[in-house]
Structure 1
Amino acid sequence: MAKMTGSRNILVTLGIILFFIVLAYAYLSPLIEGKVLQMPDIEHHKGMAKELADYREETGEEAIWTNSMFSGMPGYMISVIYPGNLSRYISRPIRQVFSTASFLILYLIGFFILLRSLKINRWLSVAGAIAFAFSSYFLIILGAGHMSKANAIAWLAPVVAGVLLAFRGKPVAGTLLFAAAFSFELLSGHLQITYYGFLLIAVYGLVELIFAIREKTLPSFFKAFLFLLAGAVVAIGMNFSRLYTSWEYSKDTIRGPSELTSNNENKTSGLDKDYVVQWSYGIDETLTLLIPNFKGGGSQINPGTDSESFQALRSQNVQNPRQTIQAVSMYHGEQPGTSGPVYVGAIVVLLFLLGLFVVKGPIKWWLASATVLSIVLSWGGNIMWLTSFLLDYLPFYNKFRAPSMTLVIAEFTMPLLGFIALNDIISGKVDKKEWLNGLKWSVIIAGGLSLLLAILPGISGNFTNATDAMRFPDWLMDSVIADRKNMLRSDAFRSFIFIALAAGAIYLWHIKKIKTTPLIAAVGILILIDLWAVDKRYLNNDHFVPKRQAENPFQQMPADQAILQDDDLYFRVLPLQNPFQDARSSYFHKNVGGYHAAKLRRYQDLIDHHLQPEIQQMVSGFQGGTAMDSVFMELPAINMLNTRYVIYDLNQAPVRNPMPLGNAWFVPEFKVVGNADDEIKAMENFDPAETAIVDQRFSDYVAGKSFSKDNNGHIELTEYQPNYLKYDYTAASEQFTVFSEIYYENGWNAFIDGEPVPHFRVNYVLRAMLIPAGNHTIEFKFEPKSYYVGNKVSLASSILLILAIAGYGFARFRKRKTKTA
C-alpha cells in the first residue's frame, strides 16, 4: 500500500509540473508559434558577446578577453563558459528545451518545492507558486532580457527550502538540497540577487538563533548551521572559477574603489553613492505592492486616446495627436524611469497581513522582519542617512546599484507568509476566533486603504514628479494629472474588489458554504486573474518577434559596411550616439565605447575626465567647420586608443580619423607622476605620440633610462585574436614602446621571442614595455590563473556533490528496501 501511495504521489507531482509548464506556455503563447521575446538587454548582450561567441564557435575554446567593448576588458561577466562546473550540463538543456518559458517554469516549481518542504497543502502550494511566479517584477525582467537575474530569483526558493529543512530536523537532506540549489543560484551569475538571498537567510538565521537561545536548543541549531556551511562550501567550490575570476576582476572595476581622490564624500569602497541610488523606490511608491498603478505604472505607459490628455492635444491642434500621446508618460514616481511597478497582488497583501495576525513562532518574525528590511532598503536615496551608513559599513552592499531591486525579498516573503497563514487556517492550527479577527483587520487595512484611494485619490499626492515641468507644457499638465488620478482610482477599486472576493471566499469556507478544495481553487484562480492581467500590461504578445529577427538584432548600416571594408587587423571605432551605453557597435567593430555595468574603473575615469570632454570638443569642431586635421590633433585620448573611425550617422559614411596612433608606437619621452590624480591630470596637455605618463609605482622600469626617436624603426601587429596579440618590430636601440591595449595585470603576460618579459601601465590605462634593439617578435597572451585553477576546483567540487547525492539516494533506497523486506 505504501508503494502505491508513493507512486501516486510521484504521478500527482509530475502532473503538477506538467500544469506549470502548460501555464507558462499559456502566458508566453507566442513561443509555441516559434517566436521569441524581443529583449533589449539580450540585444545588448549579443553585441557585447559577439567577439567571444565567434571565437568560441571558430576554435572551441574560450577567449576570456574581448576587445569589442571599452577598448578591451575581461569577458568574465559577459560570456565565458566555465567547464569545471558540471551544473551547467543541467541548466543549459533546460534553457534550450523551454526557452524563455524555462524561467517562469522554474519560478513555479521552485516555490512549490519551498511550500511543500514546509508541509503546506499540495494544492495550496500550487496556488502559492502561482502567486510568487506571477509577481509583476518577475515577468517584467523577462521582457527586459534580465535572464541571469530571473534565473537567480528562480533558484532562491529551493535554496531557502534546503535551509528550512536543515533547521527542521533534516540536516542531511536539507544540506544536499541547499548545496545543489545554491550551486545553480551561483551559476546564474547575478550576485546582487544572490546577495539579497543571503540577507534573507541571514535574517532567518538570526531569528532562529534568538529562539534557540530562548528555548535552549543551541546544539541542534549549530548542527544545522555546520551542515549548511559545508553545503555552501561545496556549492561555492562548484562555482569557484566564476567567483574567483569575478572577485579578482571586481577590484579593478567601477565596483571597486577609485584611486582618484576628488569627490570623496560620494565615494565608497565600491560604487559611487549617487550611482548606487539612482533607482530608489519612492517611500509612497511602496503602495504599488497593493495597487499597481499607484504611480502610473511604467514609464512607457500612456493614457491612450480616451484620455483627457488626448483631448487636450486635439484642442491645441497638435499635429499627430495619436503619436504625441505615446510620449505622455503616466509614471510619476521618483525613479529616473521604470519598466513597470513591483506588484505582488492585492490578495497576496491581504494574506500577508493575515499571516502577521495568525502565524506563530520564528517563521513569522523572520518573514515580517525580512519584508520590512526589503522595503526600507528599496527606498535608497530617499533615506540617504541609512543608505550611506550601509554603503560604508555593510559588507559588499556598495557593490550593487538600484536599491529598488531589494523588493525581490518582499516578493518572496509576502506570498510565503500569506500561504503559511492560509494553510494554518484550513488545517485547523489556528483558533477560529483568532483568525476571523485577523481576517477582519487585514480586510480593513488592505481593502480599506484601496477603497479610500479609489474614492479620494487626491490624498496620495500631487501626481507629478521632478521631470514633468520639462516634459509637459502648462496647458497639458492638468489633463495629465487628471489621467493619473483616474488610473489610480481604477486600480485601487480593482484591488479592493479582489480583496473582497478573496475574503468572501474564506468566509464562505468558514460558514461551510464551500469546502477546502473549492476555497483553494478560488483563491488560486483569483490570484492568477489579478496578476495575469497586470503582467500583460508590461509583457504581452506584442513583445514577441520572429526568431530570425532576434537572432540578428543589429543590421549592417552604411557606416558599418564602410568600416568593414577596411581589412586591417585591428583598430577601434567610436560611435557618437550614446557611446558608453550602447553595445551595437560592439557587434560589428572593436569599440571605444560599449555597454556594461562592470567596466574597468580606470577606463571609467578616462571616460569621465578625457573621452567625454574630447567627444564634446570633437562635435563642436565638426559643427563649427574646423578643419578635420585640426579637430583630431587635439584629441590625445581618442588617438592613443587607435580610434580610426567615428560614426556620427549610421546612414552616412563614417569620419576617418587622420591621427590615430596605431596598435603600438615608440616614444622618446616619459614623465613620472606621483599618483592617479597626477596621472589623469597630466593627460590634459600631452602628446601621446611623443610622451608616456608613468605612475611612480612603475618607475623602476624606466629609472635612469633615456630613449631616442628611431625614425627607421617600426612595430607592426601581425596576428590578432581577442586573447592573443603578436607584433614584429625592428629598432636600432632600446625603445620605450606604448601599446594601444588596456592594461590588466591579472592575466596578460608578455613575451619577446618566446621569453617572458615584464610590461607596465602608462597613460592611465595602456600597456608599455621596454624592448631591446634588433629584430624581434612580441606576444601578449591572456592567461589568467584564476580561470584555469578555478575550473579545477569547480570540477572537484561538482564530483563531490554528485557523489554525496548518489550516496544519500543509495542509503535511502537501502533503508526503504529493508523496511519492505
Structure 2
Amino acid sequence: MAKISGFRNILTNLGIILFFIVLSYAYLSPLLEGKVLQMPDIEHHKGMSKELVDYREENGEEALWTNSMFAGMPGYMVSVIYPDNLARYINGNIRKLFSIAGFLILYMVGFYILLMSLKINRWLSVAGAVAFAFSSYFLIILGAGHMSKANAIGYLAPVVAGVLISFRGKHLAGSLLLSAALSLELLANHLQITYYGFILIALLGIVELIFAIREKTLPSFFKAVLFLLAGAIVAVGMNFSRLYTTWEYSKETIRGPSELTSESENKTSGLDKDYVVQWSYGIDETLTLLIPNFKGGGSQVNPGVDSESYKALQRQGVQNPRQTIQAVSMYHGDQPGTSGPVYIGAIIVLFFVLGLYVVKGPEKWWLVAATVVSVVLSWGGNIMWLTSFLLDYLPFYNKFRAPSMTLVIAQFSMPLLGFIALNNILSGKVEKKVWLNGLKWSVIFTGGLSLLLAIVPGITGDFTNAADSMRFPDWLMDSVIADRKSMLRTDAFRSFLFIALASGALYLWHLKKIKATPFIALLALLILVDLWTVDKRYLNNNNFVPKRQAENPFPMTPADKAILSDTDLYYRVLPLQNPFQDARTSYYHKNVGGYHAAKLRRYQELIEHYLQPEMQKMVAGLQSGSAIDSVFRQLPVINMLNTRYLIFDLNQAPIRNPFPLGNAWFVSDFKMVGNADDEIKAMETFNPAETAVVDQRFIEHVNGISIAKESNGKIELAEYEPNYLKYNFEAENDQFTVFSEIYYDKGWNAYIDGEPIPHFRVNYVLRAMIVPGGQHTIEFKFEPKSYYTGNKISLASSLLLILAVAGYAFAQFRRRKALPENE
C-alpha cells in the first residue's frame, strides 16, 4: 500500500506542476503565438554583452573582459559562463523549455515545495503557491527584464524549505535540499535577493535558537546548523568561480570603497549613501500591500480620457489632449519613479493578520519579525538615521541600492504566515472561538481600513509629491488630485470587496455550508482574480512583440554605418545622449559610456570629475560655432580614452574627433603624486600626450628611469580581441608608454617578447609600462586566476552534491523497497 500511495503522490504532484505550467501560459498567452516579451533590461543586456557573446560563438570560450562598455571592464556580471558549475544545466534547460513562463512556473513550484515541507494541506499549498507567484512585483520585474532577480526569487522558497526541514529533525534531507536550491539561488547571480534571503534565514535561526534554549533542545539545534552549514559550503563551492570573481571585482567597483576623501559623510565602504536610498518606499506607501493604487500605481499610469485631467486639458484648449494625457502621471509616492506597486493581495493581508491570532510557535515570530524588518528597511531614506547606521555597520548592506527591494521578504513572509494560519484552522488545530475572534479583528483592521479609505480618501494626504510642481501647471493640478483620489477610492473599495468575499467564504466553511476542498478552490480563485487583474495593469499582451523585432533591438542607423566604415582595429565611440545609461552604442562599438550598475569606481569618478564636464564644454563650444580643432584640443580625458567618434544624432553622421591619442603613445614626462586625491586633481591641468600622472605607490616602476624628451619611435596595435592586445613597438631608447586601456590588475598581464613584465596605472585609470629600446612585441592578456581556479572548485563541489543526492536517493529507495506491502 505504501508503494501505491507513493506512486499516486508522484502522479498528483506531476499533475499540480502541469497546472502551474498551464496557468503560467494562460497569463503569458502571447508566448503561444510565437511572440516574445519586450523587456527593457534584456535589450540593454543584449547591447552590453554583444562583444562577449560574439567572441564565445566564434571561439568557443569566454573572453571575460569587454571593451564595449565604460572603455573596458570585466565581463563577470555581464555575460560569462562558468562551465564547471553543473547546476547551470538545470537552470538553462528550464529557460529553454519554458521561455519567460519558466520564471512564473518556478515561483509556484518553489513556494509549493516550501508549503508542503511545512505539512500544509496539498490543495492549500497550491493556492498558496499561486498567491505567492502572482504578487504584483514578481510580474512587474518580468516585464522589465530583471531575469536574474526573478530567478533568485524563484529559488528562495526551496532554500528556506531546506532550512526548515533540517530544523524539524530531517537533517540530511534538509541539508541536501538547501545545497541544491542554494546552488541554483547563487547561480541566478542576483546577490541582493540572496542577501535578503540570508536575512530571512538569519531571523529564522535566531528564533529557533531562542526556542531551543527555552525548550532545552540545543543539541538538535546545533546538529541542524552543522548539516545546513555543510550543505551551504557545497553550494558555495559549486558557485565558487562566480563568487570569487565577483568578490574580487566588487572591491574595484562603485560597490567598493573610494580612495577619494571628498564627501566623506556620504561615503561607505560600498555605495554612496545618497545613491543607495534613491528608491526608498514611502512610509505610507507601504499600504500598497493592501490597496494597489494607494499611490497611483506606476509612473507610467495616466488617468485616461474619461478623467478630470482630460476634461481640464480640453477646457484649456490644449492641442491633441489624447497625447498630452499620456504624460499625466498618477503616481504620487516618494520614489523617483516606479513601474508599479508592491501589491501582495488584500486577501493575503487579511490572512496574514489572522495568522497573528492563530499561529503559535517559532514560525509565527520568525515571519512577523521578517515582515517588520522588511517593511522598515524598505523605507530607506525616509528613516535615514537607521539606514545610515546599517550602511555603516551591517556587513555588506551598503553593497546594494534600492531599499524598496527589501519588500521581497514581506512578499515571502506574509503569504507564508497566512497559509499556515489557514491550515491550522482547516485542520482543527485552533479552537473555533480563537480563530473566529481573530477573523473578526482581521476583517475590522483590513476591511475596515479599506472601506474607510474608499469613503474618505482625503485622510491620506494631499495626493501630491515633490515632482508635481515641475510637471503640472496650477490649472491642471486640482484635476490631477481628483483623479488620484478616484483611483484610491476605487481600489480601496475593490480590496474591501475581496476581503469580504474571502472572509465570508471562510465563515461559510465554518457553518458547514461548503466543504474544505471547495472552500480552498473558491479561495484560490478569489486570490487569482484579485492578483491577476492587478498584474495585467503592468504586464499584459501589449508587452509582447514579434520575435523578429526582439532579436535585434538596435537596428543599425546612419551614424553606426558611418563609424563601422572605419576599419581600424580599435577606437572608441561616445554617445552624447544619456551616455552613461546607454547600452545601444555597446551593441556596435567600443563605448566610452555604457549601462551597468557595477562599473569600476575609478571610472565612475573619472566620469564625474572630467568626462561629464568635458562633454558639456564640447557641446557648448560646438553650439557657439567654435572651430572643431579648438574645441577638441581642450578635452584631454576624452582624447586619452582614444575617443574617435561622438554620436549626437543616430540619423546623422557622427562627429570625428581630430585629436584622439590612439591605442598607445609615448610621453616625455611624468608627475608623481601622493594619493588618489592628488592624482585626480593633477589631471585638471595636464596634457596626456606629453605627461603621465603616477601615484607614488608605483614609484618602483619609474624610479631612476631616463625618458627621452623627443622620440622617433612608434607603437601600433597589431591584433585585437577583447581579452588580448598585441602591439608592435620600435624605438631607439627606453619609452614611457601609455596605453588607452583601463587598468585592472586582477587579471591583466603584460608581456614583452613573450616574457612577463610589470605594468602600472597612470592618469587615474589607464595602463603604462616602461618599454626598453629596440624592436619588441608587447602583449596584454586577461588571465584572471580567480576564474580558472574557481572553476576547478566548482566542478569538485558539483560532483560532490551529485554523489550525495544519488546516495540519499538510493538509500531511500532501498528503505521503501524493504517496507512490507501492507505498510
Q: Same fold (TM over 0.5)?
A: yes
Q: Note the 1:586-625 alignment, pairs <5 A.
A: 586-625=586-625
Per the TM alignment, residue 817 of structure 1 is displaced from its structure 2 partner at its CA by 1.5
- 8 Å Cα contact 1:710-1:733 kept in structure 2: no
Deviation at 1:710, TM superposition (A): 4.2
1:367-516 equivalences under 5 Å are 367-516=367-516
Counterparts of 1:304 and 1:615, CA distance in 2: 40
1:123 aligned counterpart, secondary structure: helix
Structure 1 range deviating more: 804-813 or 1-10: 1-10
Contact 1:572 1:642 in 2 (8 A): yes
Amino acid at match of 1:691: T
Letter in 1 for 2:752: I
CA drift at 1:711: 3.6
Q: Distance in 1 between matches of 2:172 and 2:21?
A: 30
Counterpart in the other structure of 1:784:
784
- 1:5 is displaced (CA, Å) by 1.2
> 1:141·1:150 contact (CA, 8 Å) conserved in 2?
yes
Contact 1:748 1:783 in 2 (8 A): yes
1:125-149 CA-to-partner distances (Å, cap 9, x unmatched) read 0000000000000000000000000
Secondary structure, aligned partner of 1:61: coil
2:533 aligns to what?
A: 533
Q: CA deviation at 1:709?
A: 3.7
State the alpha-carbon separation in 2 of the partners of residues 241 and 336 from structure 1: 36
Q: Secondary structure at the match of 1:513?
A: coil
Cα pair 1:618 1:631 within 8 Å, conserved? yes
Structure 2 CA distance for aligned equivalents of residues 310 and 775 of structure 1: 74
Q: Distance in 2 between matches of 1:2 and 1:808?
A: 19
Partner of 2:744: 744
AA aligned opposite 1:280: S
Deviation readout 1:729-773 (Å, 9 max, x if unpaired): 111100000000000000000000000000000000000000010
Report if aligned partners of 2:663, 2:717 keep a CA contact under 8 Å in 1.
Answer: yes
* Residues in 1 aligned to 2:806 and 2:9: alpha-carbon distance in whole angstroms: 22
Partner-residue secondary structure (3-state), 2:770: strand
- Partners of 1:759 and 1:588 lie apart in 2 by 30
Local SS of the residue matching 2:687? coil
Counterpart for residue 345 of structure 2: 345
Q: What pairs up with 1:139-538 in 2 under 5 angstroms?
A: 139-538=139-538
Residue identity matched to 1:41? D
Q: Any idea what SS the aligned residue of 2:688 has?
A: coil
C-alpha separation in 2, matches of 1:137 and 1:820? 49
Partner-residue secondary structure (3-state), 1:47: helix
CA distance in 2, matches of 1:489, 1:173: 49
The C-alpha deviation readout for 1:679-717, integer Å capped at 9, x for no partner, is 000001110000000000001111122311444210000
Asked whether 1:98 is paired with 2:98, we answer yes
- Contact 1:710–1:732 (CA under 8 A) maintained in structure 2: no
Query: 2:759: which partner in 1?
Result: 759
Deviations 1:484-536 (A, max 9, x none): 00000000000000000000000000011111011101110000000000000
Q: CA deviation at 1:548?
A: 1.0
Contact 2:711–2:731 (CA<8 Å) still a contact in 1? no
CA distance in 2, matches of 1:150, 1:517: 31
Distance 2:294 2:816 in 1: 55
Give 3-state SS (helix, strand or coil) of 1:598's partner.
coil
Per the normalisation by structure 2, the TM-score is: 0.99
Return the alpha-carbon distance in structure 1 between the equivalents of residues 706 and 133 of structure 2: 67
2: CA distance between counterparts of 1:512 and 1:605? 68
Query: What residue number does 1:701 align with?
Result: 701
Local SS of the residue matching 1:672: strand
In 1, the alpha carbon distance for the partners of 2:3 and 2:807 equals 22
Aligned to 2:816: 816
Show CA shifts across 1:411-446 (max 9, x none): 000000000000000000000000000000000000
Secondary structure in structure 1 of the residue aligned to 2:512: coil
Deviations 1:595-640 (A, max 9, x none): 0000000000000000010011011011111110011000000000
* Alignment partners' CA distance in 2, 1:369 and 1:283: 18
Instruction: Report how far residue 456 of structure 1 moved.
Output: 0.3
Supply the distance in 1 between the matched residues of 2:162 and 2:711 (Cα, whole angstroms).
69
Matching residue of 1:33: 33
Aligned equivalents of 2:776, 2:382: Cα separation in 1 = 60
Alignment-derived partner of residue 718 in structure 1: 718
The answer on whether the counterparts of 1:582 and 1:594 sit within 8 Å (CA) in structure 2 is yes
Q: CA deviation at 1:4?
A: 1.5
Partners in 1 of 2:236 and 2:680 — Cα distance? 38
Distance in structure 2 (CA, Å) of the matches to 1:497 and 1:476: 32
What amino acid maps onto 1:534 in structure 2?
A: V
2:695 corresponds to 1:689: no
- The unaligned stretches of length 5 or more in structure 1 are none
The 2-side partners of 1:709 and 1:129 are apart by 73
Secondary structure at 2:819 match in 1:
helix
Q: Tell me, what secondary structure is at the counterpart of 1:580?
A: helix
Rounded to whole Å, the distance in 2 between the matches of 1:386 and 1:58 is: 51
Per-residue CA deviations over 1:346-388 (Å, capped at 9, x if unaligned) read 0000000000110000100000000000000000000000000
- Secondary structure of the 2:199 match is helix
Measure the CA separation in 1 of the matches of 2:549 and 2:678: 49
Alpha-carbon deviation of 1:480? 0.2
DSSP 3-state at the match of 2:421: helix
Structure 2 counterpart SS, 1:313: helix
Aligned to 2:774: 774
Q: Secondary structure at 1:83's aligned position in 2?
A: coil
Q: State the distance in 2 between where 1:235 and 1:58 align.
A: 32
C-alpha distance in 2, partners of 1:780/1:429? 69
Structure 1 vs Structure 2 CA RMSD: 0.6
- Partners of 1:472 and 1:519 in 2: CA distance: 49
The question of whether the paired residues in 2 share the 8 Å contact of 1:668 and 1:706 is answered with no
Distance (Å, rounded) in 1 between the aligned partners of 2:527 and 2:93: 31
Where 1:820 maps in the other structure, the secondary structure is coil
Instruction: Look up the equivalent residue of 1:400 and give its one-letter code.
Output: F
Aligned mates of 2:552, 2:75 — CA distance in 1: 21
Output one character per residue of 1:286-321: Cα deviation in whole Å (capped at 9) or x when no partner: 000000000000000000000000000011110110
How many angstroms apart in 2 are the aligned matches of 1:467 and 1:780? 49
Residue type at the aligned position of 1:292 = P
| 1:627 alignment counterpart | 627
SS in 1 for 2:579: coil
Residues 519-668 of structure 1 mapped to structure 2, 5 A cutoff: 519-668=519-668
Give the aligned residue type for 2:376.
V
What is the rounded CA distance, in whole Å, between the counterparts of 2:353 and 2:604 in structure 1? 46
| Aligned equivalent of 2:672 | 672
Q: Distance in 1 between matches of 2:508 and 2:582?
A: 56
Q: Supply the distance in 2 between the matched residues of 1:685 and 1:631 (Cα, whole angstroms).
A: 16
Report the Cα distance in structure 2 between the residues aligned to 1:313 and 1:213, rounded to whole angstroms. 67
For residues 635-681 of structure 1, give each alpha carbon's deviation from its aligned partner in whole angstroms, at most 9, with x where no partner exists.
00000000000000111100000000000000010000000000000
Unaligned runs of 5+ in 2: none
Instruction: Measure the CA separation in 1 of the matches of 2:589 and 2:345.
Output: 45
Task: Specify the code of the residue in structure 2 equivalent to 1:46.
Answer: K
CA contact (8 A) 2:35 2:544 kept: yes
CA shift, 1:568, in A, is 0.2
TM superposition shift of 1:820 = 3.4
- Any conservation in 1 of the 2:706–2:734 contact (CA below 8 Å)? no
Q: Distance in 1 between matches of 2:133 and 2:74?
A: 34
CA distance in 1, matches of 2:814, 2:498: 50
User: Residues of 2 paired with 1:158 and 1:53: CA distance?
Assistant: 31
> Retained in 2: the 8 A contact 1:666–1:709?
no
Do the aligned partners of 2:3 and 2:816 also contact (CA within 8 Å) in 1? no
